[in-house]
Structure 1
Amino acid sequence: MADRRVGVLWSSAAFAVRLAWRADRRALVHVVLVQVLLAGAMAGGLVVVQTVFGSVLAHGPAAAGRSPVVVPAVVVLLVAGAAAGALRLSGAARMAVLTVKVDRLVAGMVLQAAAAAELPRFEEPDFHDGLQRAVFASRRQPAMAVVLLVTAFQAALTVLAVGGAFVLMAWWLLPLVLLGAVPGIRAAGKERDAHHDLHHGLSEGRRLREYLEQLLTGRQEAKEIRALDLGAVLTGRWQDQYAREVRDTEALLKAHARRRMAAQATGGALTCLAVGALWWAAARHLLPLSVAGTAVAGVWLLSVRLNAFAGMLTGIGENLLRLTDLWSFTAAGPVAPAAATAPVRQQLPSPRNELGPLRAERLSFTYPGADSPAVREVSLAVEPGQVVALVGVNGSGKTTLAHLLAGLYPPDSGRLLHDGTPITDLRAHRARTAVVFQDFTRYKFPALDNVGFGRPHGTADPLRVLDAARRAGALDFLQRLPAGLDTPLGKEFTGGADLSGGQWQRLALARAFYRDAPLVILDEPTAALDAHAEDQLFTSLRGLFAGRTVVLISHRLRSVRHADRIYVLRAGRVVEEGSHKALLRADAHYASLFRTQASAYHDTNTP
């Protein structure tokens, strides 16, 4: 286990160096070069101090000023000290720039990996735990790892440099000084592993806490939180989750603080033993007094650096182990470049290129962690230019089937064919599909962006945006916004405006019109519209999407009467198919559902 952790640490350290190199290689080289020069200066300083000390002892303090060695040596030390100060300032400035660039690079990597993950991953708790840990690791952890690695590199160079000078003076004490650092290094390693294990164990609790924070601070959630008086309950749950983390962290720190103090005491005792040995050797004239005095300074400097190095190991190891969370999460996708680049543009098909026949053959799909399939061996066919409806009660599999047809989920079994050819590239299939979800996203960006996101890899065309808004019935209210299409759609932003639920739904429809894709999937596209607006939309649906293939999902059966073909789902299976009239004549599940809904509008039970 220990060997595996050491291997992981070395791999993570290499990963951190690659990140820094990719973020700004010139800054990294500059910082490392500064540390090398500073370590060399420290070793040289010890040799110079030993020379001056020897001269003073040889000639006496009164005659030291006339020594041909003392004055030049002091001048060298002063000049070297000033140069070292300038070097430190230069290295610190470049290090600050490097950390900012590493932060940007890593945050971009996490966002890129999250955006590239396929939709089924978002159904898995492990994915969300990994994402939470990667986000946590990306928040200055890589930059901090780089800083700590550079600091550790400096400490290691100093130890080597001072140790090299020490060998020339009293080599036989070097093993004793190095041995004094072993207890601290061992204690730091155990604390590092304990911190990492605790961090992993707290992942889901932290996600729950973040969700509670979102509920308590979100503008959309605010009204219901107050209407139900949930504030105190949710705050209490947040406190409980945080209390668990505080309790576990406190217990860990207490346990390891005792180990660290014991290790430090042991190291201090060994350092005192080394100084005593030097004193004993000088008293018996086994070492020149100048060498013994400089060696005492060397012992002190070496022990301080070794203790600092051992102290840094906990922070370094913890940061490096957290980098493994970042590494494992982003490994599936390419590393984002350090400089911003234009996004890869997906060319949507021209609206003149009609979609060929779309056919599903025995599609089945089960959500991760679910006990039973949401869709079971469904087969259907959609011809170009047709309007096909999927209907059924809640939980019948309509929306899941629509997600499969849109290429958002790969089927567990069965296949999807376009023009007789199996669809294997789901990204390419999504590029020729426009989807309006029942739970569409309300982007709190300017109205121009909200519609223009239909074709995101390019600059939004205001004229085309206005045309899409007109076809969706959104033009009137968009033109009345304070800044027109440039108005942010959220009161949280300066100059922002709110929209009603029905207006947001029309905006989502406008996004689909702007995308201008040959396959259009509408999942309850009128859920927030009034009855009159709903009738207008469905009456004009075929004209609005002329030349497109439309898959329509609605639980309001009166809205699908004019569809070319209706597929009726029940428990994930297609139990009936046909036109509205044919299904009524069959007098089966569809007819029963239709009569039930019609009874709410008429006094008779017959349609």
Structure 2
Amino acid sequence: MTSAITQNQPPQPPKGTMPAGAPQDAGVREEEYLYRDASRLQAGAQLTSRTMARRLPSLVRRSVQMAWRVDRGATIGLLVCQIGTGVLAALGLLAVTGTITALVSAGDITARLWDAAPQLTVIAAAGLCALLGIAVVWLTGRLRPVLGRAAELTMIEAALGAELAANNKPGYNDAYDIADRGAQVTPDLVEEAQDVLAATATLAAGATVLTVLHPLLLPLLFLACLPQAAAYVRSARVIYLAGLETSGRRRMLGKLRWHMAYQESSEEMRACLAGPFLIGRYRRLAASVNAAERKAANIGAWMGLAGAVAGGVASTAVWAALLWLLASGRMGLAASGGTVFALQTATGSVRGIINGGARLVRTGWYVQDWQNFLDNAHGQAMADSRGTAPVTAAPERFEVRDVTYRYDGAPKDSLSDVSLHVRRGEIVALVGENGSGKTTLSRLLCGLLLPTEGDVAWDHASTADLDPWSSWEHVALVPQKFTYLPLTMRDNITFGQGDTSDAALLAACEASGAAEMLPGLRSGLNTLLTSEWFGGQQLSGGQWQRLVLTRAFHRQAALLVMDEPTAALDARAEHRIFAGLRELAKDRAVLLITHRLTNVAVADRIVVLDQGRIVQEGTYAQLTQQPGLFRTLWELQRRMSGDTP
């Protein structure tokens, strides 16, 4: 039986869910995923053959530098092989000319063969080029994986070095996606540069022989190859621009694949029929990408055909010139034989340089996108927006002063003129309805976000002036949405930081209630927390929340931020957390966010937010007696729980 997902069309929604005749994707526009950076597209459209000629030397130099950084021995070996190939090719061509001269001259054939013996020996020695080619393949194979991993690592480091708010910046994710493609093709840059170097070495040999035989032939050969050069560059440009224009749609395809294939979304994919719906969306989006790429391939093929035709006409002129030199007596028969070999070698080399050079330039454009992202993370690098002052001692006071914050593209401020402070030894709770700005305020206090206006200070030092990584050593965060990392329980708790001994981890597990999980884990703290690999185990949502709490309790941080820390816990586990919170707050500043208002009774102060502004502040006893938003929400929750009539 064929499942709904594997059919050509996704299943129809239940009757009554949409108007008759309405498209299933009503309201979804393909242009939402188009690449928006017009300046980058304009720059790509201006890439020409002249640009290629100017960039080729720098690209070859860059590829050598990249290879040198990851494997100097292999880089030296490649350069030696390319030089050796060029020298052997030149000697072989000269030997061919000498051999032909000896064979076509008058005299005894045996004597002529003995005269040609040295040249024949050189021709045989030129067969070492095959061995050098094998060495080039081996050395390039050594470099490719190392270069690829190194490029991926630099991308990850650049992304981690970007501001948290970068993902909300227009164009950032497109820039990352394009740069990531550049990282993936970085090994191709070295391989294609080797092809260009090999063709250049062989061309140098052929050019030397042609120049010796007759100086007119070499410039004619270069002129004959110009049409193909222009065609190859234009084709490469069209394909590159198509990649830019479809980058947003390809990124969306990747996200859809991830959601449809992995466990995190597997329930909605099936029970909510999201899978069949997204399969249809994927097909339509993929079809639009395929159409754009097919169009680019067709244009490139027509350009290549036009270049080949023009190149064929020009090559005919070169061979006609050779026949004219021979017929007019300006070149001897023996020399013409060597010229034929040299022309064939040089023609193949020039075409190799043009073809390889066009591919190298196209790859170079991608690699340049990668390098641009590494330079400043699309203008979002923390190195450009923050200071470098270290946090030498654990801060005592964390303060928000007259802060306003607006997310990029948002119609209004998420926070407006907010001031708040929390000291070590104090618990401050943030309360408010959804969208009131609680999580945004906590991220500002952590230094994860920088305010649009106002200042966030740790002991009078602005977070904008502090080194961010040094600052975060003093922060423990329990986020509302946490990640299930496929690591051991020990690594998930410590991330390699602090006291990693069993005693320290078990103490944190006792505080969070995670100690109750340990007897059920195959290898205790060393159990891999995923079922995707043999020996691993999958945790429930509540167990993962206990683990995240364990991580926060284990960190000896001055600021502890808990954003809905017990949303997935049962009543007993939740009571345990809040009962022990006062003990944890003895030497920490605790910022607590929760919608369960009875839990904030443990707080020293409660701050109530409404539409990005602080509207109330006080103790639990005060706010439950005063008219206002807190009391309204508190009474509503009590009625829902049956505490009041």
Instruction: Name the TM-score, length of structure 2 as normaliser.
Output: 0.87
Match of 2:175 in 1: 130
Match of 1:441 among 483, 487, 494: 483
Match of 2:82 in 1: 35
Tell me if the contact between 1:354 and 1:384 (Cα under 8 Å) persists in the aligned partners: no
Distance 1:200 1:509, change over 3 A: same
Match of 1:376 among 373, 391, 416: 416
- Give per-residue Cα distances to partners, 1:554-582, cap 9 Å, x unaligned: 11111101211010000011111111122
Tell me if the contact between 2:561 and 2:590 (Cα under 8 Å) persists in the aligned partners: yes
Match of 1:275 in 2: 319
Match of 1:166 among 180, 200, 210: 210
Q: Does 1:367 align with 2:412?
A: no
Match of 2:151 in 1: 106
- Give per-residue Cα distances to partners, 1:137-187, cap 9 Å, x unaligned: 222x11111111111122122222211210111221222211110000011
Match of 1:200 in 2: 244
Percent identical = 30
Match of 1:77 among 105, 110, 123: 123
Whole-Å separation in 1 of the counterparts to 2:448 and 2:148: 31
Equivalent residue of 1:69, what SS? helix
Match of 2:62 in 1: 15
**How far 1:265 moved relative to its partner?**
2.0
Equivalent residue of 2:641, what SS? coil
**How far 1:213 moved relative to its partner?**
0.4
**How far 1:100 moved relative to its partner?**
2.2
Tell me if the contact between 2:513 and 2:573 (Cα under 8 Å) persists in the aligned partners: no
**How far 1:546 moved relative to its partner?**
2.7
- Give per-residue Cα distances to partners, 1:105-154, cap 9 Å, x unaligned: 21111111112222011222412111112222222x11111111111122
Give 1:69's aligned amino acid. D
- Give per-residue Cα distances to partners, 1:67-124, cap 9 Å, x unaligned: 542122212221231x322222222211211222211221111111112222011222
Whole-Å separation in 1 of the counterparts to 2:334 and 2:211: 15
Equivalent residue of 1:599, what SS? helix
Distance 1:348 1:501, change over 3 A: farther
Whole-Å separation in 2 of the counterparts to 1:15 and 1:55: 46
**How far 1:477 moved relative to its partner?**
0.9
**How far 1:429 moved relative to its partner?**
2.5
Give 2:492's aligned amino acid. N
Whole-Å separation in 2 of the counterparts to 1:528 and 1:21: 51
Equivalent residue of 1:600, what SS? helix
Distance 1:462 1:258, change over 3 A: same
Give 2:437's aligned amino acid. G
Match of 1:258 among 283, 299, 302: 302
Equivalent residue of 1:181, what SS? helix
**How far 1:64 moved relative to its partner?**
4.5
Give 2:101's aligned amino acid. G
Whole-Å separation in 2 of the counterparts to 1:575 and 1:330: 43
Distance 1:42 1:603, change over 3 A: closer
Tell me if the contact between 1:274 and 1:299 (Cα under 8 Å) persists in the aligned partners: no
Match of 2:564 in 1: 524
Whole-Å separation in 1 of the counterparts to 2:299 and 2:390: 59
Unaligned runs of 5+ in 2: 1-45, 378-388
**How far 1:11 moved relative to its partner?**
5.1
Equivalent residue of 2:71, what SS? helix
Match of 2:288 in 1: 244
Whole-Å separation in 1 of the counterparts to 2:390 and 2:461: 20
Distance 1:357 1:172, change over 3 A: closer
Match of 1:343 in 2: none
Tell me if the contact between 2:89 and 2:126 (Cα under 8 Å) persists in the aligned partners: no
Whole-Å separation in 1 of the counterparts to 2:159 and 2:224: 46
Whole-Å separation in 2 of the counterparts to 1:505 and 1:376: 32
Q: Does 1:498 align with 2:542?
A: no
Tell me if the contact between 1:355 and 1:548 (Cα under 8 Å) persists in the aligned partners: no
Whole-Å separation in 1 of the counterparts to 2:621 and 2:364: 66
Whole-Å separation in 2 of the counterparts to 1:287 and 1:394: 89
Match of 1:45 in 2: 92
Matches within 5 A, 1:138-537: 138-139=183-184, 141-332=185-376, 355-423=395-463, 424-425=465-466, 426-453=468-495, 456-457=496-497, 460-537=500-577
**How far 1:347 moved relative to its partner?**
10
Tell me if the contact between 2:74 and 2:139 (Cα under 8 Å) persists in the aligned partners: yes
Instruction: Name the TM-score, length of structure 1 as normaliser.
Output: 0.92
Whole-Å separation in 1 of the counterparts to 2:263 and 2:304: 47
Give 1:549's aligned amino acid. A
Distance 1:603 1:41, change over 3 A: closer
Tell me how large the CA RMSD over aligned residues is: 2.2
Match of 1:338 in 2: none
Give 2:105's aligned amino acid. A
Q: Does 1:92 align with 2:134?
A: no
Count of paired positions: 585
- Give per-residue Cα distances to partners, 1:191-232, cap 9 Å, x unaligned: 121112111111110110001101111112112211122222
Distance 1:600 1:359, change over 3 A: same
**How far 1:59 moved relative to its partner?**
3.0
Distance 1:11 1:330, change over 3 A: farther
Give 1:159's aligned amino acid. L
Whole-Å separation in 2 of the counterparts to 1:507 and 1:393: 27
Whole-Å separation in 1 of the counterparts to 2:409 and 2:429: 29
Equivalent residue of 1:517, what SS? coil
Tell me if the contact between 1:566 and 1:577 (Cα under 8 Å) persists in the aligned partners: yes
Distance 1:513 1:130, change over 3 A: same
**How far 1:379 moved relative to its partner?**
0.4
Q: Does 1:594 align with 2:634?
A: yes
Whole-Å separation in 1 of the counterparts to 2:492 and 2:461: 34
**How far 1:65 moved relative to its partner?**
4.7
Distance 1:477 1:131, change over 3 A: same
Whole-Å separation in 1 of the counterparts to 2:321 and 2:459: 88
Give 1:226's aligned amino acid. R
Distance 1:458 1:105, change over 3 A: farther
Tell me if the contact between 1:446 and 1:487 (Cα under 8 Å) persists in the aligned partners: yes
| Greater mean deviation of Cα atoms: 422-431 or 378-387 | 422-431
Whole-Å separation in 2 of the counterparts to 1:175 and 1:207: 47
**How far 1:501 moved relative to its partner?**
1.6
Tell me if the contact between 2:428 and 2:591 (Cα under 8 Å) persists in the aligned partners: yes
**How far 1:48 moved relative to its partner?**
1.0
**How far 1:458 moved relative to its partner?**
6.6
Whole-Å separation in 2 of the counterparts to 1:368 and 1:530: 37
Match of 1:55 in 2: 102
Give 2:298's aligned amino acid. K
Equivalent residue of 1:180, what SS? helix
Distance 1:375 1:16, change over 3 A: farther
- Give per-residue Cα distances to partners, 1:307-366, cap 9 Å, x unaligned: 222222332121111111110111138xxxxxxxxxxxx9998xxx76412221111111
Equivalent residue of 1:416, what SS? strand
Whole-Å separation in 2 of the counterparts to 1:43 and 1:421: 69
| Greater mean deviation of Cα atoms: 581-590 or 278-287 | 278-287
Give 1:99's aligned amino acid. R
Whole-Å separation in 2 of the counterparts to 1:458 and 1:466: 14
Tell me if the contact between 2:513 and 2:576 (Cα under 8 Å) persists in the aligned partners: no
